[in-house]
Amino acid sequence: MDLVVSTVSQGLLWALLAIGVYLTFRVLDIADLTVEGSFPLGAAVAASLLTAGWQPIPAIFMACVAGMISGVVTGFLCTKLKIPALLAGILTMIALYSVNLRVMGKANLPLLQQETIFTIFPVGGDKSMTVLIIGAVVVLLVSLACYWFFGTEIGAAVRATGNNPHMIRANGIDTDVMIVLGLLLSNGLVAISGALVAQSNGFADVGMGVGTIVIGLASVIIGEVLFGTRSFKNCLISVILGSIVYRAVIAIVLQMGMPPNDLKLFTAVLVAIALSLPLIQARWRKMRMV
């Protein structure tokens, strides 16, 4: 039972990362590697501010703003300076490694004595239950905000930019602005995710961003395959559930005795298989037809 609660609560905290990756990878059609830097950035900013005596909610808010700025930097690199999006993300991510060290002053910042979002709202009794409830509330609020925003005129323009830039330019929308806006929102959410994970883990670490893009992709793809992609609302729910399922899969393979050091390899293989699934399915169908 404990394991289930902690798995679901971790899944919820990381679901914000998954939604962020969904916004770039699926909505904007860009593989944005900024997340590998904006996730620990969110953790670093929140941890530093908490250590400096800030309240958890303003600290998380500032983490979100920092993440948004990193998204704008990537957006600027790829729209105004015409650097390919993948490379632009990598550049920001590498730059953020140094920024994160500066923000924290050292490579690892413990949060053992500080008040966190999970200690100021002691709901649910034990710690994992608290994380689960607060995680669920945050994910619900973010999902509602995303659902609303992407239903507005601007939100529809962002979605159309990722879907068909020719069409949306022919309708008078500046695609550059929409790409920057999408990256801003995505990395803001990723930074919130980093801030929450740091508070739940009790520390921020400069290396905690490694592999986040793959974790995000795994959640997005698992969610899409298992829970569908009919509408934007459906996709949002799928991605959140995908994040929880991903955590469950990880928990199960760890229980089965896989060394934790092999986790990243496992995740990478999982994502590679999931990404190639459509191709494999098509081949399989062809072979059966013959």
Partner 1 sequence: MLDIKDISKTFNPGTITEKLALRKLSLHLAPGDFVTVIGGNGAGKSTLLNSIAGTFPVDTGSITIAGTDITKWPEYKRAKFIGRVFQDPMMGTAANMMIEENLAIASRRGRTPTLRWSSSDKERGHFRELLAGLHLGLEDRLESKVGLLSGGQRQALTLLMATMVRPQLLLLDEHTAALDPKTAEKVLDLTRKVVEEQQLTTLMITHNMRDALRLGNRLIMMYDGRILVDVAGEEKKNLSVKDLLAMFEKAAGSELTSDSLLLS
Q: Where on the chain is the footprint of partner 1 (CB under 8 A)?
A: 149, 151-157, 159-160, 163-164, 166-175
Smallest distance from partner 1 to CB 27, Å: 9
Smallest distance from partner 1 to CB 224, Å: 13
91 vs 168 by CB, closer to partner 1: 168
Amino acid type, 173: I
- Which pair of tokens denotes residue 272? 């590679």
26 vs 247 by CB, closer to partner 1: 26
Burial class (CB in 10 A: 0-12, 13-18, 19+), 194: buried
- The set of residues, in sequence order, having a beta carbon less than 8 Å from that of 71 and lying 6+ positions away, is 32, 34, 38, 180, 183, 184, 185, 186, 187, 188
Smallest distance from partner 1 to CB 274, Å: 20
Q: Rounded distance, CA 217 to CA 209, Å?
A: 14
Q: For the chain, how long is the longest CA-to-CA vector?
A: 69
Q: How many CB atoms lie within 10 A of CB 158?
A: 24
Smallest distance from partner 1 to CB 160, Å: 5
Crossing angle between the packed helical segments 212-227 and 2-22, to the nearest 10 degrees: 100
Smallest distance from partner 1 to CB 176, Å: 9
166 vs 286 by CB, closer to partner 1: 166
Q: Rounded distance, CA 67 to CA 53, Å?
A: 21
127 vs 169 by CB, closer to partner 1: 169
List phi, psi (to 5°) of 204: -115, 140
